[in-house]
Amino acid sequence: MAEGATGDLAAMEYEICIGLETHVQVKTRTKVFCACPTEFGAEPNSNVCPVCLGYPGSLPVINEEAIRKTVLAGMLVGAKIARYSKFDRKNYFYPDMPKNYQISQYDLPLVIGGTVEYDFGIVDKKRLGETKVCHLTRIHLEEDVGKNFHFERTSGVDFNRAGTPLMEIVSEPDLSSSDEAFAYLTALKEILIYGGISDCDMEKGQVRCDVNISVRPKGQKELGQKVEIKNMNTFSGVRHAIDYESQRQIETLRRGGKLVQETRRWDDVAGVTESMRTKEHAHDYRYFPEPDLLPVSLSEEWLAEVRKLVPELPSAKRKRMVERYGIPLYDAGVLSADAALADYFEAAAKASKNPKSVANWICNDLLRDLAEAKLAIGQSPVKPPHIAELVELVDSGRISSKIAKDVFVEMFKTGKAPAAIVAEKGWVQVSDTGAIGKFCDEVIAANPKIVADFKAGKEVALNALTGQVMKLSKGKANPQAVRDALRAKLTG
Ligand SMILES: [Zn+2]
């Protein structure tokens, strides 16, 4: 773009470049460099020891499980796993960090590269199946810090969280809108939960995010001036902060202003970002190798064992489900969002000739009732073979789909098999023409006005009569048989 073309500034088109640094708590029983439990919500400063309190002379010992899960995360995103990596000290001073340095990884991280594929269906149902890829720079392992609490007259620090393993997943600036950032984070979270790497519980602060954002004139190769927004802890916050900050930057440039490299914070209440400080450079942290920990060297055998833990990923599972079971992509998305739910569906679908109907029952009725009862899929009183059996009862005409709804309610309440419930309650669908004929006669006799309407050519009147017969049969009559019988009686 030509310098001095100030007249065109206001009309200039910009594009937004976003990279995310996502901190995710790794799911381990104990902390990353000591044996203290990682349990959430314990009495302040009860899960601490000389190591995580940074006492002089105490020595860190690496938790193998934290390394394993970080490496597994790398495998899940198709990254290169470093055979040799090391830990470094990142020096800075803050009350929530007792050692005045954080053990992290600088130039030799555990995981290099990788990609995360995300689907726009998460931001707009109509765009389901439209995917894009975000490249990762690296994933490294570090320790979390403590937590500051500010009371009316004093402040306190809880070190329970200090030393909890934290994975930092750094993306390239591939994302170009708040929607893309949101879809990327959602996909990343799904992958990490699938792999058992983290629970990604946002309410417990297990996922936090720094947003790097810049804007540049459309077509320009180099990135614009980068601004970092620190410590976002909700995905919706990330979305709003990006929308606000990108607009702020574009407007500043359009007015002929200059952007400075800085760190900003998002004020969720005011809905604005505000400057915290102009950015320190990386060398301000005076990184140097952690002298108390040996470098990490991973053997081929060890890596092969980790590779065995790699599950089928959600996106692959969705594609396979659509192909194998012929269900809509939307249903496959719902069902694959949770590995246990996907397994449940597949168990039921394999036992059924009609997987599409199985998917319907699970996506609508089962998930609704589980949510109401606050139960996880693993606690479902309805088991997969029972869903298959219910579908079969409907498809074979033994019960109507209306009765099936009642059967499902009983199944959820009692855990009994649907066929047993149908037998017990006498809910078998009546297709017997004699019985249906009797109901029809009764309804015809009781509704002379509607009958006259139908005879006068009002076809919809038949629906009203069918409804009456269904009601009289307590939903047990086969609706098609009822329509046929009514028509025969009224026209014959
Ligand atoms: Zn400890």
Per-residue model confidence as pLDDT tens digits over 264-276:
999 989 999 998 8
Report the pLDDT averaged over residues 312-323.
93
pLDDT score at 353? 95
Distances (CA, A) of 66 to 63, 142, 430: 6, 10, 61
Centroid of ligand 1 to alpha carbon of 45 (angstroms): 10
Among 104-108, 145-149, 361-365, 428-432, which stretch is predicted with the lowest mean pLDDT?
428-432
Instruction: Tell me how far apart the alpha carbons of residues 454 and 489 are, in angstroms, rounded to a whole number.
Output: 12
Centroid of ligand 1 to alpha carbon of 145 (angstroms): 12
> At residue 169, does pLDDT exceed 80?
yes
pLDDT score at 285? 87
Residue pLDDT, tens place only, 233-242:
999 999 999 9
Would you call 105 exposed, middle or buried from its count of C-beta atoms within 10 A (0-12, 13-18, 19+)? buried
Among 134-138, 180-184, 239-243, 470-474, which stretch is predicted with the lowest mean pLDDT?
470-474
From the DSSP assignment, how many helices (H) and strands (E) are in the chain? Answer: 17, 17
At 475, is the pLDDT very low, low, confident or very high (cuts 50, 70, 90)? confident
> At residue 281, does pLDDT exceed 60?
no
pLDDT score at 1? 46
Among 21-35, 140-154, 280-294, 302-316, which stretch is predicted with the lowest mean pLDDT?
280-294
Centroid of ligand 1 to alpha carbon of 225 (angstroms): 40
Q: What is the mean pLDDT of the chain?
A: 93
Instruction: Tell me how far apart the alpha carbons of residues 348 and 392 are, in angstroms, rounded to a whole number.
Output: 11
Centroid of ligand 1 to alpha carbon of 203 (angstroms): 23
> At residue 426, does pLDDT exceed 90?
no
pLDDT score at 8? 74
Centroid of ligand 1 to alpha carbon of 347 (angstroms): 43
> At residue 474, does pLDDT exceed 90?
no
pLDDT score at 380? 97
Centroid of ligand 1 to alpha carbon of 31 (angstroms): 7
pLDDT score at 11? 78
Three-class secondary structure of residue 50 per DSSP: coil
Centroid of ligand 1 to alpha carbon of 383 (angstroms): 43
At 492, is the pLDDT very low, low, confident or very high (cuts 50, 70, 90)? confident
Nearest-5° Cα angle at 372, 371 to 377: 35
Give the list of residues 6+ apart from residue 43 with CB closer than 8 angstroms, or none.
none
> At residue 164, does pLDDT exceed 90?
yes
- Which pair of tokens denotes residue 114? 């990788």
> At residue 283, does pLDDT exceed 70?
no
Report the pLDDT averaged over residues 204-210.
95
Centroid of ligand 1 to alpha carbon of 206 (angstroms): 19
> At residue 4, does pLDDT exceed 60?
no
Instruction: Tell me how far apart the alpha carbons of residues 182 and 127 are, in angstroms, rounded to a whole number.
Output: 14
Residue pLDDT, tens place only, 11-32:
789 999 999 999 999 999 999 9
pLDDT score at 477? 84
List the shell of residues around ion ligand 1, using CB closer than 5 Å: 34, 36, 49, 51-52
pLDDT score at 120? 95
Centroid of ligand 1 to alpha carbon of 34 (angstroms): 5
Instruction: Tell me how far apart the alpha carbons of residues 389 and 397 are, in angstroms, rounded to a whole number.
Output: 13
Bigger pLDDT: 399 vs 431? 399
Report the pLDDT averaged over residues 177-183.
97
Among residues of the chain, what percentage have pLDDT more than 70? 98
pLDDT score at 254? 92
Contact 133, 116 (CB under 8 A): yes
Distances (CA, A) of 244 to 11, 16, 247, 274, 433: 19, 12, 5, 11, 68
> At residue 431, does pLDDT exceed 80?
no
Among residues of the chain, what percentage have pLDDT more than 90? 81
pLDDT score at 350? 96
Domain ranges of the chain: 11-303, 314-425, 433-491
At 398, is the pLDDT very low, low, confident or very high (cuts 50, 70, 90)? confident
Report the pLDDT averaged over residues 86-113.
95
Give the list of residues 6+ apart from residue 3 with CB closer than 8 angstroms, or none.
none
pLDDT score at 156? 95
Residue pLDDT, tens place only, 444-470:
999 999 999 999 999 899 999 999 998
Centroid of ligand 1 to alpha carbon of 395 (angstroms): 60
Q: Which CATH class is domain 433-491?
A: mainly alpha
